[in-house]
Amino acid sequence: MRRTLFVMAACGLVIFACSLWGQGPPAGFRGAPAAGRGNAPFDMTGYWLGQITEDWRYRMTAAPKGDVGGIPVNAEGRRVAGTWDEAKDEASGDACKAYGAGGILRMPGRLHITWEADDTLKVESEAGAQTRLVSFGAPRAQGNDWQGVSTATWDRPAAALSGFSIGRGGAPGASLKVVTTKAKPGYLARNGVPYGANATFTEYYDLLQVPGGDTLLTVTVEVVDPQYLSQPYWYSVHFKKQADAAGWTPRPCAKGGQ
């Protein structure tokens, strides 16, 4: 239920000027989630430009040290956030902490999504020049790196948003569900708000077609981290489909790269 509310809120931010048309919700999910490219209910490949219409302060620049915003950190998480030192991260080879699985989608820039194989999506980020392999079968990644191990299923909620077309020819209400574990400890925000090695990230990718307008990819994320969070942390981001690779310029997460 919370995920549906997050998706609705995110979509509302980007299409509030559009006229909505009413239609009943589609039929619910029937059968088990299907795996891989051959059963994909929509096509999310291509280049996607991040739309920074929410949390601008925390996504475009690093907020002051100790400012955790709305992230539900516990006492230890707040303490660690208060010790953030960007220069120290650079010196220790940890400049990519804000570009790991917990924070990469909030970074400004583009995504490039392709099929690495019939059972594996490759998600490349312009920010930090990161690559994540999302597997429908046996995981392709080993873990203990910034992007961790990601497994996927095609997920179809019981109801979809009324008033939107889900993708171009896509199945109504369909989502890509991605669960990521075994990532190196990193930051949920650019100013050192931490997540630990045992954090779990559950992402739901939804393709939306604005009436007469853009194709959008909305990603709703749940972060569960027993080390630094007092409760699950939810956030949502969205991207606009590009016609081609114009502007695609991967930048390393070392100092000066972003």
In angstroms, the CA 205 to CA 218 distance is 6
DSSP β-bridge partners for residue 181:
149
Most confident of 20-24, 28-32, 34-38, 195-199: 195-199
In angstroms, the CA 29 to CA 2 distance is 18
Of residues 105 and 13, more confidence is placed in 105
Confidence of residue 14 (pLDDT cuts 50, 70, 90): very low
pLDDT at 206 over 90: yes
In angstroms, the CA 140 to CA 147 distance is 12
Most distant pair of Cα atoms in the chain: their distance: 56
Confidence of residue 95 (pLDDT cuts 50, 70, 90): very high
- 52-94 tens-digit pLDDT: 887 877 788 889 999 999 999 999 999 999 999 999 999 999 9
In angstroms, the CA 102 to CA 106 distance is 9
Task: Give the predicted TM-score (pTM) of the model.
Answer: 0.81
pLDDT at 137 over 80: yes
- In this prediction, residue 28 carries a pLDDT of 35
Confidence of residue 12 (pLDDT cuts 50, 70, 90): low
Backbone CA torsion sign across 248, 251, 253, 258: negative
In angstroms, the CA 205 to CA 111 distance is 13
**Residues in contact with 188: Cβ distance below 8 Å, sequence separation at least 6, in sequence order:** 71, 102, 103, 194, 195, 223, 233
- In this prediction, residue 255 carries a pLDDT of 58
Number of H helices, E strands in the chain: 4, 13
What residue has token string 């699950």?
232
What residue has token string 């990819």?
217
In angstroms, the CA 60 to CA 107 distance is 7
Confidence of residue 161 (pLDDT cuts 50, 70, 90): very low
- In this prediction, residue 33 carries a pLDDT of 46
SS3 12: helix
Nearest to 184 by CA among 136, 149, 220: 149
Cα dist. 162→8, 54, 155, 165 in Å? 10, 23, 18, 9
- In this prediction, residue 55 carries a pLDDT of 80
pLDDT at 23 over 50: no
Which token pair is 211? 């009436």
Percentage of residues in the chain with pLDDT exceeding 70? Answer: 78
